[in-house]
Amino acid sequence: MPTYFEKKQLVTPGELLAEGEYLPGSNTYTENSKIYASRIGLADCDNKRVNVVALRAFYFPKVGDMVIGTVLETGFSGWTVDIKSPYTALLRASDVLSRPFKPQNDELSQVLSGGDLIVAKIASYDRSHDPQLTVGEPGLGKITRGQIIKVTPSKIPRVIGRQGSMISMIKKETGCQIILGLNGVILVTGKTPADEDLAMAAIQKIENESHTSGLTDRITQFLKEEKQKIGGKQE
Amino acid sequence: MNKKPEKLINKKGLRLDGRKPDELRPVKIEVGVLANADGSAYIEHGKNKILAAAFGPKEMHPKHLSLPDRMVLRCRYHMAPFSVGERKSPAPSRREIELSKVIRECLEPSVFVEYYPRTGVDVFIEVLQADGGTRCASITAASLALADAGIPMRDLVVACAAGKIDDTVVLDLFDTEDKVGCADVPVAFMPNLNAVTLLQMDGILTPEEFAKAVNMAIDGCRKIYDLQKEALKTKYMLIGQEEEVEE
């Protein structure tokens, strides 16, 4: 029962990956008990499960994902939100107000209006319904300050790093709060705009160089150098 | 009007452009050439020059065209006014509308349309220079544009034509051969699944000649498929070489 790829091999859609007792993982499909790739990416085998780490993908909503979205429109009983996925998400007024929503008492556009950015979680999603968002947890809701940076959704794991090593390092070095939307939108809030710019530069660097090795070390180095430059100017 | 050549194959058995009967024209493919599209590809197949761009998946507009159980694939095949000898009107012609449909239907089996209900994907194909066999080259490029946009696919679709000129079955006809010759058989193919997604014929062939032409076209598809995969990999090669285990 063989596999037909080397670890981290670049595969194209339709490439035969494995046969027999293996299980199809992400970005793969089975036909006649053979596993093929369905996206361009890097093939990997983990405990009999064959995965392809996609190098090009779009965000597809999953229940429980934290996302950052832009409010598009105020409706009768809620808002429509762009979460950079094939589907527009809905946010219900009763969820934001955390009490029953009465159209005669509440003016929705005073709570959120078009263009506002929100941090939310996907409460429900299935094939026949658009994703519904919720802001009923601590840390979720309207974004009032900070800066936004967008990266390719498939590169979010790289920004997080192994067990969060990368992201916690950036947070520590820059003193910024960073919220990662799984849809590829990242919110950076710091004490000063300069701190935010530094963190954003680091994230941009990760996106551009996500394929190279030893990235965490290089980002650490980069942040230290940049901080010295800024420090030098101030003195 | 150029005068028609009398013979399409000379005494040495070579064609007007010096190819052997079973020889392809030179093919050059590049992926990711357009910054504003989600996915794109450019193909030079002999003198054909074709750009393909893919957008999506996104919400379907207008909304009533969306389907509750699958993604809608839309294709637009268009020839630029300067793509042929005499200026072509930029308005979509009957032929272009038909080719758009044919290309859509041959790409659809390769895409997992059932994964993304109520969404739409647009594919735009722009023929910059035409020299026979544009539908085949368009299919090859469009499939790459879809893959480059990150849309899950069963396989890349690759297409190639075969036909008959001067009583000989030949591979990959160019413009003059197509117009003066006896028959043309375009075939689109998914090599890994061994499935044909497009099969057309115009002209007259005996059943034996038809079988020979189809097999010849499929062999041609396999050759182009290697170039197609290579082109897709080239864009992502850099990433592939040094990807690390850091998740």
Evaluated on CA atoms B123, B98, B29, B144, the torsion sign reads positive
Q: Do A36 and B190 touch (CB under 8 A)?
A: no
Closest CA in chain B for residue A160: B247
Q: In what order do the strands lie in the sheet with A147-150?
A: A147-150, A185-189, A177-180
Contact B133, B45 (CB under 8 A): yes
**Nearest 5°: CA angle at B143, between A19 and A131?**
80
Q: Please give the average per-residue pLDDT across A86-106, as a whole number.
A: 86
Q: With an 8 Å Cβ cutoff, is A156 touching chain B?
A: no
- In the structure, what pLDDT confidence band is assigned to residue A69 with cuts at 50, 70 and 90? very high
Residue A158 host element (H or E)? helix A156-160
Q: Is A166 on the interface with B (CB under 8 A)?
A: yes
B193–A8 CB contact, under 8 Å: no
| pLDDT top residue among A172 and B141 | B141
pTM: 0.89
Is A27 within 8 Å of B244 when comparing Cβ atoms? no
> By the CB < 8 Å criterion, does A159 face chain B?
no
B226 touches chain A (CB under 8 A): no
**Rounded Cα–Cα distance for residues A22 and A35 (Å):** 8
Residues 82-111 of A with CB under 8 A from B: 86-88
Structure tokens at A234: 């101030």
What is the least distance, in Å, from the CA of B166 to any CA of chain A? 38
Tell me if A28 sits within 8 A of A42, measured CB to CB. Answer: no
Q: Residue A104: what residue type?
A: Q
Q: Which stretches within chain B are classed as H helix?
A: 94-107, 134-148, 175-180, 207-242
Q: Does B154 touch chain A (CB under 8 A)?
A: yes
Q: Which amino acid is at A46?
A: D
Q: By the CB < 8 Å criterion, does A54 face chain B?
A: yes
The yes-or-no verdict on residue B6 having pLDDT over 80 is: no
A12, A32, A125, A212, best to mutate vs chain B, most B CBs in 10 Å: A12
Distances (CA, A) of B136 to A60, B22, B55, B197, B224: 32, 17, 21, 12, 11
Which residue on chain A is closest to B71 by alpha carbon? A86
Q: Which regions of chain B does DSSP assign to beta strands (E)?
A: 27-31, 39-45, 48-59, 72-79, 119-129, 158-165, 168-171, 183-190, 195-199, 202-203
Residue B246 CA, chain-centre distance (Å), reads 38
Of the listed ranges A40-49, B68-77, B95-104, the one predicted with least confidence: A40-49
Chain A's closest residue to B244, CA to CA, is: A213
Chain B residues with beta carbon closer than 8 angstroms to that of A127: 117
| Pick from B177, B190, B184, B99: nearest CA to B143 | B190
Q: What is the ipTM of this complex?
A: 0.88
Are the beta carbons of A16 and B192 separated by less than 8 Å? yes
Q: Specify the pLDDT at position B243.
A: 44
Identify the pLDDT of residue B237.
Answer: 76
Q: How far is the alpha carbon of B132 from chain A, nearest alpha carbon, in Å?
A: 28
pLDDT at A211 over 70: no
- The overall average pLDDT reported for chain B is 92
φ, ψ (nearest 5 deg) of residue A128: -100, -5
Phi-psi category of A177—alpha, beta or left, where left has phi over 0 and alpha has psi -120 to 50?
beta
How far is A119 from A177, CA to CA, in rounded Å?
14
Q: What is the pLDDT of residue B242?
A: 45
- pLDDT tens for A109-148 read 888 998 999 999 999 999 889 999 999 888 899 999 899 9
Query: Which residues in chain A have Cβ-Cβ distances shorter than 8 Å to B66?
Result: none
Cα distance between the two ends of chain A? 66
Please tell me the CATH code under which domain B27-237 is placed.
Answer: 3.30.230.70
Q: Does B150 touch chain A (CB under 8 A)?
A: yes
**Does residue A128 belong to the interface with chain B, where contact is any CB pair within 8 Å?**
yes
Band of pLDDT at residue B247, cut at 50, 70 and 90: very low
Domains, chain A, in order of start with CATH, read 9-54 (2.40.50.100), 66-142 (2.40.50.140), 147-230 (3.30.1370.10)
A56, A86, A128: residue with CB nearest B148: A56
Q: Comparing B196 with A6, which gets the higher pLDDT?
A: B196
Write out chain B residues lying below 8 Å of A210, CB-based.
239
Each residue of B188-198: pLDDT tens digit?
999 999 999 99
Best mutation target, B71, B111, B146, B155, to test chain A (most A CBs within 10 A) = B155
Residue tagged 């429900």 (tokens): A124
Pairing of strands B183-190, B158-165: antiparallel
Chain A contact present for B191, CB below 8 A? yes
Task: Compute the nearest-CA separation of B228 from chain A (Å).
Answer: 10
In terms of CA atoms, which chain B residue is nearest residue A209? B239
Q: Which helix (H) or strand (E) holds A195?
A: helix A193-208
| Torsion, Cα of A200, A202, A203, A205 (10° steps) | 120
